[in-house]
Chain A
């Protein structure tokens, strides 16, 4: 009798579970595996944080889907002829979520905060040429530069330079209030669970066309896929190509993929033996079939790349040093370095960050075995990996590094001897320093392209790193979601313009 009762309860529960529970209303339900790590737009560096903060905060300028600089909170800008001043005309009538007007005072206060070392702003190094900021009226801002700085404009197009309310800066509340000017307003954030956004009715742009977004954290991407198929979420961010590719050809779920500007790379630290020998690094570069790494680790989802990944600067890979696998040449180089017997190379890789890291390491391991290099893979928990990576405490590392729309901003931190990640790169030479310095001040686009083409030839030939490939940025959506434009930076700002038709 009692058993029958329990059986009934069980059946009832299963029946309840099976009753449909699809998302409803005009709120977009979105899922992703990793959550934002904090709300301060200036100090956040995790990709997962940007995906939320870029919906709430806006910078002066932003990027379109082709990585061109376009107006955001600034309607127009002008480099004065000598390249020493950059002035902006601000958009009028923009309000912060708390109702305060956005004016030039906020711009000045924001940059004062970013440039203050104590803030720990992530992008501070890109703005050091800003000597002072003038605010002649409420809607004009003039940046006085200490040196000509062409990449500065594109470097402003990041959530790390987003505008915050000067009152919040004064009260020290920036990290907690999430008071931006963007299309969505943060209603509630429960870390590792859900984030609720509502539409900003006063937004200056054309949108949003939905009432809000509910962001749910589903830690296992296979479960995100299941939720899409079950139709219980509308939209999802995916990282793992092995999961994303399952949606290719799915009639009920649309997969969006755009080539990324972030790049998968094997970092060699030229500062340690025997990687200090140019021939050894070159041999490694020649022994690796990059397409094979891409095929095995990412199921071919991506393209082999040189150092620069953005379309405007990328070079055809056949121009670059040893992009065709050449084992004979690799063996000759090893012999020239006096390393014919090979050696043991320790490679660090973060466990599951990116999801392809360990597969890449294993592909590299198998390929380098052919020239006598024994690769030992150290798979590390992410925070241990980050710790050792930043300290330059490794021989070689498999990494997924972020790209930038401008080559200078992308690489100055690694390849200028004064760059703050130069120790991580572990390699310095005068040519690089010189090319970087010229790339910063050159205003002619043609000449600039040439400078960075030379930089790429030089980098691949010196082989401090072995650039492998760029993958895709994946988002997936139900057909009910319309009008989403994906960005190579993985930005979700396209959500400001989507409509839902259930």
Chain B
């Protein structure tokens, strides 16, 4: 490593990174909006129906218009932020932890063990994601928790594969050989030497997965398997809005924007983190 006089902290460097900054701002905005929504600090109660004002466009009374039942879209988007982010973050956390652990250990240990573990992953991987999700949702009944588990399980093998690939490449490198020769324990080698080297692709993957998860939730909602009514999630609102898009375009535009900005935020943050965290990138001349 360079012998610099005390490098600035990761966070400071993230703030100096353009994508990182924008991403962080967007994600922070969403977390704030989501928490506000979760605490019920919305302009109107989320599920209150103002039937006489149904399907009205954005106005001073209803900033983003109202839906089929006269429910305030702005309030629902706030609560939807909470519900959507909850599903995304929880499911990706499950998938990342489980997948990375499985992939790293399996790739590092190698041999028969690797073979068996990856075959088991294949079993889960090989089943169509929707089929798995559908079965899980059908058995446990639809709802937020089930959606989290379903998306989490579906993404676990992806993380296993993505983390295993680099492990295979890295473990034959000299410095790992050296660590082995020095008699370091396998666990130590994995945590200290192998895992950090797989971080870059993993972080990219997490940022992608968070956005996929938002989108998968939207897809499951399209098929009626996501968050259950009357609770809003961006996915549910978008697929409800799709049916009415010609009559009341605001019902589709705002949830679509929310999802797209949410996905954008996670991706930019991921990009920023990647630039900042990856030691090898710092030397790149651009």
Tell me, yes or no, whether A and B come into direct contact in the complex with CB atoms closer than 8 A: yes
Chain A residues with a Cβ under 8 A of chain B:
222, 240, 242-243, 245-246, 292, 295-297, 299, 351-352, 358-359, 361-363, 365-366, 377-379, 381, 384
Q: Is the CB of B229 within 8 A of A363?
A: no
**Measured CA separation A461–B104 after assembly (Å):** 68
**Measured CA separation A377–B49 after assembly (Å):** 16
> What residue in chain B is nearest A378 (Cβ atoms)?
B141
Q: Is the CB of A363 within 8 A of B247?
A: no
Contacts of A240 in B (CB 8 A): 243
Q: Is the CB of A379 within 8 A of B224?
A: yes
Q: Is the CB of A379 within 8 A of B229?
A: yes
Q: Is the CB of A379 within 8 A of B230?
A: no
Contacts of A384 in B (CB 8 A): 138
Q: Is the CB of B242 within 8 A of A366?
A: no
Contacts of A361 in B (CB 8 A): 229
29 contacts between A and B (CB under 8 A): A222-B243, A240-B243, A242-B243, A242-B247, A295-B54, A296-B51, A296-B54, A296-B68, A296-B70, A297-B68, A299-B68, A351-B224, A352-B224, A358-B224, A359-B68, A362-B229, A363-B49, A363-B69, A365-B230, A366-B47, A366-B49, A366-B69, A366-B230, A377-B229, A377-B230, A379-B224, A379-B228, A381-B224, A384-B138
User: Do most interface residues of chain B lie in helix, strand or loop, or is the interface mixed?
Assistant: loop
Contacts of A379 in B (CB 8 A): 142, 224, 228-229
**Measured CA separation A359–B243 after assembly (Å):** 13
Q: Is the CB of B69 within 8 A of A296?
A: yes
> What residue in chain A is nearest B67 (Cβ atoms)?
A296
Known contacts A246-B246, A246-B247, A295-B51; A362/B228 CB under 8 A: no
By Cβ-Cβ distance, the 8 closest A-B pairs, closest first, are A351-B224, A366-B49, A242-B243, A362-B230, A296-B69, A358-B229, A362-B229, A246-B246
Within the complex, what minimum Cβ distance (angstroms) separates A418 from chain B? 34
**Measured CA separation A378–B48 after assembly (Å):** 19
Chain B residues with a Cβ under 8 A of chain A:
47-49, 51, 54, 68-70, 138, 141-142, 224-225, 228-230, 242-244, 246-247
Contacts of A359 in B (CB 8 A): 68-69
> What residue in chain B is nearest A382 (Cβ atoms)?
B224
> What residue in chain B is nearest A366 (Cβ atoms)?
B49
**Measured CA separation A295–B51 after assembly (Å):** 9
Q: Is the CB of B243 within 8 A of A296?
A: no
Contacts of A363 in B (CB 8 A): 49, 69
Within the complex, what minimum Cβ distance (angstroms) separates B238 from chain A? 14
**Measured CA separation A144–B57 after assembly (Å):** 65
Q: Is the CB of A292 within 8 A of B51?
A: yes
Contacts of A296 in B (CB 8 A): 49, 51, 54, 68-70
**Measured CA separation A242–B49 after assembly (Å):** 19
Contacts of A292 in B (CB 8 A): 51
**Measured CA separation A351–B236 after assembly (Å):** 13
Q: Is the CB of A243 within 8 A of B243?
A: yes
Within the complex, what minimum Cβ distance (angstroms) separates B141 from chain A? 7
**Measured CA separation A366–B224 after assembly (Å):** 21
> What residue in chain B is nearest A376 (Cβ atoms)?
B228
Within the complex, what minimum Cβ distance (angstroms) separates A77 from chain B? 46
In this complex, the member of B48, B54, B230 whose beta carbon has the largest number of chain A beta carbons within 10 angstroms is B230
Within the complex, what minimum Cβ distance (angstroms) separates A386 from chain B? 14
**Measured CA separation A351–B230 after assembly (Å):** 13
Q: Is the CB of B138 within 8 A of A381?
A: yes
In this complex, the member of B54, B68, B244, B247 whose beta carbon has the largest number of chain A beta carbons within 10 angstroms is B68
Within the complex, what minimum Cβ distance (angstroms) separates A32 from chain B? 18
Within the complex, what minimum Cβ distance (angstroms) separates B228 from chain A? 6
Contacts of A295 in B (CB 8 A): 51, 54
> What residue in chain B is nearest A359 (Cβ atoms)?
B68
Within the complex, what minimum Cβ distance (angstroms) separates B76 from chain A? 12
Contacts of B141 in A (CB 8 A): 378
**Measured CA separation A359–B67 after assembly (Å):** 11
**Measured CA separation A363–B70 after assembly (Å):** 11
Q: Is the CB of A222 within 8 A of B242?
A: yes
Within the complex, what minimum Cβ distance (angstroms) separates A300 from chain B? 10
**Measured CA separation A381–B220 after assembly (Å):** 13
Q: Is the CB of B244 within 8 A of A242?
A: yes
**Measured CA separation A378–B247 after assembly (Å):** 28
Within the complex, what minimum Cβ distance (angstroms) separates A398 from chain B? 12
> What residue in chain B is nearest A351 (Cβ atoms)?
B224
Contacts of B48 in A (CB 8 A): 366
Contacts of A377 in B (CB 8 A): 228-230
Extra contacts, 17 of them, besides A242-B244, A361-B229 (Cβ < 8 A), are: A222-B242, A240-B243, A242-B243, A242-B247, A295-B51, A296-B51, A296-B68, A297-B68, A359-B68, A362-B69, A365-B230, A366-B47, A366-B49, A377-B230, A379-B224, A379-B229, A381-B138
Within the complex, what minimum Cβ distance (angstroms) separates B207 from chain A? 29
> What residue in chain A is nearest B243 (Cβ atoms)?
A242
**Measured CA separation A351–B242 after assembly (Å):** 16
**Measured CA separation A358–B70 after assembly (Å):** 16
Within the complex, what minimum Cβ distance (angstroms) separates A28 from chain B? 27
Within the complex, what minimum Cβ distance (angstroms) separates B72 from chain A? 13
**Measured CA separation A363–B49 after assembly (Å):** 8
Contacts of A299 in B (CB 8 A): 68
Within the complex, what minimum Cβ distance (angstroms) separates A275 from chain B? 22
**Measured CA separation A381–B140 after assembly (Å):** 12
> What residue in chain B is nearest A246 (Cβ atoms)?
B246
Within the complex, what minimum Cβ distance (angstroms) separates A350 from chain B? 9
**Measured CA separation A246–B242 after assembly (Å):** 13
Within the complex, what minimum Cβ distance (angstroms) separates B270 from chain A? 29
Contacts of B228 in A (CB 8 A): 377, 379
Within the complex, what minimum Cβ distance (angstroms) separates B112 from chain A? 41
**Measured CA separation A381–B244 after assembly (Å):** 23
Contacts of A362 in B (CB 8 A): 69, 229-230
Within the complex, what minimum Cβ distance (angstroms) separates B47 from chain A? 7
**Measured CA separation A362–B67 after assembly (Å):** 12
**Measured CA separation A215–B225 after assembly (Å):** 29
**Measured CA separation A381–B229 after assembly (Å):** 14
**Measured CA separation A240–B243 after assembly (Å):** 9
Contacts of B243 in A (CB 8 A): 222, 240, 242-243
> What residue in chain A is nearest B48 (Cβ atoms)?
A366
> What residue in chain B is nearest A225 (Cβ atoms)?
B246
> What residue in chain B is nearest A365 (Cβ atoms)?
B230
> What residue in chain B is nearest A350 (Cβ atoms)?
B224
